[in-house]
A = this chain, B = another copy of it.
């Protein structure tokens, strides 16, 4: 809610585009948004910001730790508010809905497998692509 503080803390000047974008993430019903989606969302609210700026700000927010970037298998990356705790993703192949999950045992075994082989794990990507079992996929886009 106190975005200005977040921006200041990150050493970022408090500008209109930045406030609008951060605000969008904090109020949108969609948790995972692409640059294009952010751009269009703002346009549709009269709040227009250049697409180049959207890309720049998203990257800055990522570096500042405000957002986390995800690369799903569809060419464009999406961003989400960084809630501090790591999680992995299940992506519905039918409607694109993204579900989040966290399994400490999976995390522990990633760590183990990696260190066993003489590596120090830095980060990882675990994306599961799946079909919704319910007859009516609940989260059509």
Give residues in A with beta carbon < 8 Å to B. 71, 73, 90, 92-93, 99, 101, 103, 105-106, 109-110, 113-115, 117-134
Nearest Cβ distance between residue A14 and chain B, in whole angstroms? 32
Nearest Cβ distance between residue A132 and chain B, in whole angstroms? 6
Interface class of chain A by DSSP: strand
| Residues on the B chain within 8 Å of A130, using CB | 114, 119-122
Nearest Cβ distance between residue A73 and chain B, in whole angstroms? 7
Contact pick for A99, options B117, B120, B133, CB 8 Å: B117
Asked whether A134 and B118 contact (CB < 8 A) given A71-B73, A124-B129, A127-B124, the answer is yes
Asked whether A93 and B122 contact (CB < 8 A) given A71-B73, A128-B110, the answer is yes
